[in-house]
Amino acid sequence: MITRQGPPLDALSDAQRFELLVTSVKDYAIYMLDTAGFIVSWNAGAERFKGYTASEVIGRHFSMFYTEEEKQSGVPQRALDTSAEHGAFEAEGWRLRKDGSRFWASVVIDPIRDPTGVLIGFAKVTRDISERKAAQEALRHSEQQFRLLVQGVTDYALYMLSPAGEVVSWNAGAERIKGYQAGEIIGKHFSRFYTEEDRASGTPARTLAIAAKDGRAELEGWRLRKDGSRFWAHVIVDAIRDQQGTLIGFAKITRDVTERRKAAAALDQANQALAHAQKMEAIGQLTGGVAHDFNNLLAVLANGLQVLTAQSRTHLDAKMIQTMQRAVDRGASLTQQLLTFARQQPLKAERLHLNGLIREFEPMLQRVGTASIKCEVRPAFQNLTVLLDVPQFEAALLNLVANSRDAMPDGGEIVISIERVELPEGAVGTLPAGAYARVSVTDTGTGMPKQVAMRALDPFFTTKEPGRGTGLGLSQVYGFVTQSGGDLVIRSVEGEGTTIELYFPLVEQDANSADEYAARLSVETVLLVDDEPDLLAAASELFQSIGYEVVVAGNASDAVEILKANPSIDILFSDIVMGQGMSGIELARLVSHDYPAVKIVLSSGYPLAALRRDHGELGEFTFIHKPYRLADLAKALRA
């Protein structure tokens, strides 16, 4: 196929080539106007996207392409005037096609002048940029939506920083959390949100440096509001870079997580309290078992010594027996301390007023001090009624005051204060919410290091010199307080003193009651039951020394057989916890049912609380705690 070709371009004149160029361009509407704005030429591009042929528009005014609103406001003529006066006019706006549809046009109008400078018309170039306009509108809409999103977020502070750290944007969340309005903070450096300590250590600059290097920095810490108050913040800083990788700023997201931090701290405190309670419970169970076995050994020694004392002895024998008895007494006191810590010491609780109790005991407390130590009691404003074992409470208070005295070798002050407090759930250890009496013993002494305070309640832990303490003082107080339904808190700062707080649940007032014992001496036959042969032999000697007939049995089954064969038994005296077979409780209940005339006395080194837990109530039987003395035994047999 042969295509007909015209003359070559180089054979055309410049005017012909220019005219060919203009008429061939299809992406631009290129046409000329006379000085009044009437169309005098029309190219293919103008015909393509305006829809008019040359014959339809030449001779008509170019304002026909403008919207009615722009024609009424004089935009077409103003465009020509601007072009003539300033040498060019450039703008964007809506234009009309032949079919009445609109398109977004980019318009350039240049004046045309003859060689003498006289205006002879205008050159008008129009391009359809509707797609670009649509893309710009979509981008603008997206940006607007994003701005609305950012501004609408109130739980997060979302704002931008310049590369130097100045605030360049500010959302509603930032205003709510930090208290600044946009006009107050934009242009200011973001370091004003940091604490004085963080600013001094360079934290703000270091945060931006990490974000710039790694692209992101995430951290938590205290931040400041406009009013100076602090909040715990979770912060993320992201670096923002342009397409060439140049740092142009930072995006910063801050959230107030103060409540979350408080909840985590409360949970951690509860876990620590639980772990401490579990540790003390485990130590208490171990200590209680050791104390029980030790009591059995002491009972053998105590009973044997009392038998020996009743017999004629030389002066040297009597002196040695007295020395041995004092050693047994000290051992018994030690086991009582261990049982108190283990919360297995029998308590005789009474309802009483704390103010009156401590006031009566104040002279004793004053004597614990020295000339250089002042001891002051500050009672509560109202009577606080609690349920306490008076001797145990007085011993605990005396112990705390003595510890405070030892912590003030150069003198100082001890304050014993009594207050009513309302505790929420979990505020002190595992105590339930409610009303409590708080007894505080505060000194101005040397205080305790944190690691010492954490171990202060452990049995046998002491910082005193060897021979100056057993390490059971505070642990004994702790055991007594917890067994009384309360808790103990240590607050101490090394070099500034210590406060020990005792919490006891408040109870309604009630009259005190005391047990009455009838004294009636009996000379009867006793059936002794114990699975410890040494203890059984020593107890047998003790009973015989005070005039009782004694029959012994090494276990409950043997005791039942003895009762069947010997109906003259008057008293059953049995240990409760025995290694195998029937327990002393089971034996007592069987004897109570089958031999109702037989008096029953039970004994154990375990405290009543532990025995009730494992064997049930013992209310129908007389109970004596090991190691028992002759006077205790006589009282129990008379009950």
**Confidence (pLDDT) at 61:** 93
pLDDT above 80 for 639: no
Q: What is the mean pLDDT of residues 202-218?
A: 90
Residues 250/208, Cβ–Cβ less than 8 Å: yes
Is residue 416 very low, low, confident or very high in pLDDT (cuts 50, 70, 90)? very high
pLDDT above 90 for 505: yes
Q: Which residues pair with 17 in a beta bridge?
A: none
Question: In terms of domains, do 286 and 356 share one?
Answer: no
pLDDT above 70 for 536: yes
72 or 328, which is more confident?
Answer: 72
**Confidence (pLDDT) at 342:** 44
- For residue 213, tell me if it sits in a domain: yes
Question: In terms of domains, do 249 and 271 share one?
Answer: no
The encoded tokens of residue 382 equal: 């109202």
From the centroid of its chain, how far is CA 603? Answer: 47
Q: What is the pLDDT of residues 14-39, one digit of tens each?
A: 445 545 545 555 678 888 899 999 99
pLDDT above 80 for 140: no
**Confidence (pLDDT) at 155:** 66
Is residue 262 very low, low, confident or very high in pLDDT (cuts 50, 70, 90)? confident
What are phi and psi for residue 433, nearest 5 degrees? Answer: -65, 145
The encoded tokens of residue 608 equal: 């009543």
**Confidence (pLDDT) at 332:** 59
Is residue 470 very low, low, confident or very high in pLDDT (cuts 50, 70, 90)? very low
- For residue 432, tell me if it sits in a domain: yes
- For residue 520, tell me if it sits in a domain: no
- For residue 1, tell me if it sits in a domain: no
Which CATH number goes with the domain that contains 233?
3.30.450.20
Which CATH number goes with the domain that contains 318?
1.10.287
pLDDT above 90 for 440: yes
Q: How are the residues of the chain apportioned to helix, strand and coil, as percentages rounded to the nearest 5?
A: 45, 25, 30
Angle between helices 473-483 and 390-406 in degrees, nearest 10? 150
Residues 130/104, Cβ–Cβ less than 8 Å: yes
Question: In terms of domains, do 270 and 324 share one?
Answer: yes
**Confidence (pLDDT) at 512:** 40
| DSSP designation for 16 | H
Question: In terms of domains, do 477 and 534 share one?
Answer: no
Which CATH number goes with the domain that contains 579?
3.40.50.2300
Buried b (16+ CB within 10 A) or exposed e, 120-144: ebbbbbbbbebeebeeeeeeeeeee
Q: Which of 31-35, 241-245, 399-403, 616-620 has the highest mean pLDDT?
A: 31-35
Integer distance in angstroms from the first to the last C-alpha of the chain? 140
Which CATH number goes with the domain that contains 472?
3.30.565.10
Question: In terms of domains, do 357 and 334 share one?
Answer: no
Is residue 519 very low, low, confident or very high in pLDDT (cuts 50, 70, 90)? very low
Q: What is the 3-state secondary structure (H, E, C) of 157-199?
A: EEEEECCCCEECCCCHHHHHHHCCCHHHHCCCEHHHHECHHHH
- For residue 198, tell me if it sits in a domain: yes
Q: Which of 98-102, 128-132, 175-179, 574-578 has the highest mean pLDDT?
A: 98-102
176, 359, 618, 620 from 584: Cα distances, Å: 72, 44, 11, 13
The set of residues, in sequence order, having a beta carbon less than 8 Å from that of 591 and lying 6+ positions away, is 563, 572, 598, 600
**Confidence (pLDDT) at 136:** 74
Q: What is the mean pLDDT of residues 389-412?
A: 84
Q: What is the pLDDT of residues 79-100, one digit of tens each?
A: 999 989 998 999 988 989 999 8
Give the chain's domain count: 5
Is residue 582 very low, low, confident or very high in pLDDT (cuts 50, 70, 90)? confident
The parent domain of residue 551 ranges over: 525-638
Residue of 550, 572, 578 whose CA lies nearest to 620: 572
Compute the mean pLDDT over every residue in the chain, rounded to the nearest whole number.
77
**Residue that terminates a domain, selected from 320, 341, 362:** 341
pLDDT above 60 for 214: yes
Q: What is the pLDDT of residues 91-127, one digit of tens each?
A: 988 989 999 898 898 899 999 998 888 999 998 888 8
Q: What is the pLDDT of residues 39-83, one digit of tens each?
A: 998 888 888 888 899 899 999 999 999 999 999 999 999 999 998
Q: What is the mean pLDDT of residues 401-405?
A: 86
CA atoms within 13 A on the CB side of 597: 7
**Residue that terminates a domain, selected from 314, 341, 368:** 341
Pairing of strands 434-443, 497-505: antiparallel
Question: In terms of domains, do 219 and 325 share one?
Answer: no
Question: In terms of domains, do 418 and 492 share one?
Answer: yes
